[in-house]
Amino acid sequence: MFQSIRVGGTGRDTLVVGYFQGQAFDTATAKVLKQVDPSGAAAGALKRPESTGDAGAIAEAFASAKGGQTTRVLVVGLGKPEALDTDAVRTLAGNIGRKLAAVKATGVQLALTPCFEKAGLDLADAGQAFGEGLGLLAWVCDEFKGTAAKKTNRVRLSIRAGESEFDNAMARGVDLAESANFTRTLSQTPPNVATTGFIADMARKLARKTGLSCKILEGEELVREKMIGLINVGKASENKPCLIRLEYKPRGSSGKKPAVLVGKTMTYDTGGLSLKINNGMVGMKRDKDGGCAVLGAMHAIATVIKPRRPVVALLAVAENSISDEAYRPDDVLRYRNGVTVEVTNTDAEGRLVLADALCWACDKEKPAYIIDLATLTGGVVVALGSTFAGMFCEHDGLRGKIEAAAKATGERVWRLPMHAEYRDLMKSPIADILNSNPNRKAHPIQGAAFLSYFVDEKIPWCHLDIAGVHATERSAGCFIEGPTGWGARLLANLLENDTGR
Ligand code: BES
Ligand code: MN
Ligand code: ZN
């Protein structure tokens, strides 16, 4: 992949042109080609069988201009104009970027804007999506490679369209991708490195670098603040639990209610005494991805978005481990808001730590709204796969904002239902509620129903279950196999469009 991406340069090495399926080059594209490619190599490439017109299908041509200079021309299929939306542009950028990296292109001139405009796209939206696609594609995490791995040299990519509206947005897109890539690198970091203390250090560093304020509650402070879920879930691990609070507070925002972003940050989930079996534990280093997405969003918020509304991030950080000190099935926990919980399954730990953060948010932050992200249930993976995150939100206004952000970023959400009957499912004969009903009904909804006992009814709240979308097994479009950074861009976009009133 690329060492770096810079928007600008002379674009002399490679020209990228597009065409819609079943159509010839449009007049603006033909004009560009006439200069660079007088002998018509690109027109020839368009006639080759690989030029199917499918979005992302690429044929290569070598154009010789009069001066004897050769330019590589990538002739790129764009599909049907009506299907070319910003999400398609992001994926397209991924496909073009893969080709650019493979041929080690350095100075790239994009001539795609005529087609983007023809498809009715706003050039700034298209530019940002293109930049995001390239930036997401460029993510590499080779920190954990050693001497037995081959070192690859990566090229520095310069890329431009030459239209400032598109190019400025593309640069912004690259920056936003960097925030999502921060999330991905954290997700990738193994649990023996990314301990609870490591996550706290990363939050402190992020705060110092970007001007956020940072407070970390641990030890006695957790006891004082009755963070009973964190204390119990984290008890068995030598890596101690903490609640991380980051705050973005723009000038002139006093009196404005903050958006509160909550993230499940389980640095490892063994299941606890209800131990995970049959290899179900593998990959549970990514059980911190809700919190990592919130950190990535805070990075974007502080460096790129700079919204007018204050934003508070709360990360509930613990390691769900086993030892003689572990919390157990049958334990009863009394929460800060007075609700008591009978633990039936120590593997339903995420909701127990999120409950602390939600109570804190309602109690202390006077939030305009709360959004939590969590790799909460395997059930949501069964239900929605890796295509949509499960969304629980009974507040029409907030749900509208989240759906709009999902549309803009391609981080898709699908609403799942809430109902008093689901809340009843969680009732306990011993305490107020159970952390998991032993029947197998509606697990993702049980999770949301549980959490609802810790949110003040008057505060708009959305729970996003990201267990299916936080990582991918497929290398396609702008993603490679591994973490997707899901949520960092969605939350950033949501705050960008939040007027703060
Ligand atoms: N972290 C898991 C959920 C998960 C599963 C995330 C697969 C990513 C991929 C969560 O803590 C968990 O163990 N959930 C249980 C809940 C059950 C015990 C109620 C589950 O989904 O099986
Ligand atoms: Mn679990
Ligand atoms: Zn978990």
Distance CA 258, CA 141 (A): 33
pLDDT at 162: 96
267 CB less than 6 Å from ligand 1? no
Query: In whole numbers, what is the pLDDT of the chain averaged over residues?
Result: 97
Q: Which of 226, 249, 276, 399 does the annotation list as catalytic?
A: 276
Q: Quick one: DSSP state of residue 454?
A: T
Beta carbons within 10 angstroms of residue 151's beta carbon: 8
Residue 284 has pLDDT above 90, yes or no: yes
pLDDT surpassing 90 at residue 69: no
The percentage of the chain sitting over the pLDDT mark of 90, rounded to a whole number, equals: 97
What would the mean pLDDT of 68-87 be, rounded to a whole number? 95
- pLDDT of res. 499: 85
The per-residue pLDDT for range 474-489, each reduced to its tens digit, is 999 999 999 999 999 9
Q: Give the number of the ligand closest to the Cα of residue 272.
A: 2
The three-state (H, E, C) secondary structure of 35-74, written as one string? HHCCCCHHHHHHCCCCCCCCCCCEEEEEEECCCCCEEEEE
Q: Where are the beta strands (DSSP E) in 233-380?
A: 242-248, 259-269, 311-320, 332-334, 340-342, 369-374
Q: Which amino acid is at 343?
A: V
CA distances from 417 to 355, 423, 444 (A): 20, 11, 10
Task: Say yes or no to pLDDT of 285 above 90.
Answer: yes
Active-site residue among 351, 401, 412, 489? 351
- Look at residue 224 in the predicted model and tell me its pLDDT: 98
Domains observed in the chain: 4-180 (3.40.220.10), 190-496 (3.40.630.10)
What is the structure's pLDDT at 409? 98
Indicate whether residue 347 lines ligand 1 (CB < 6 A): yes
Checking if the pLDDT of 152 tops 90, the result is: no
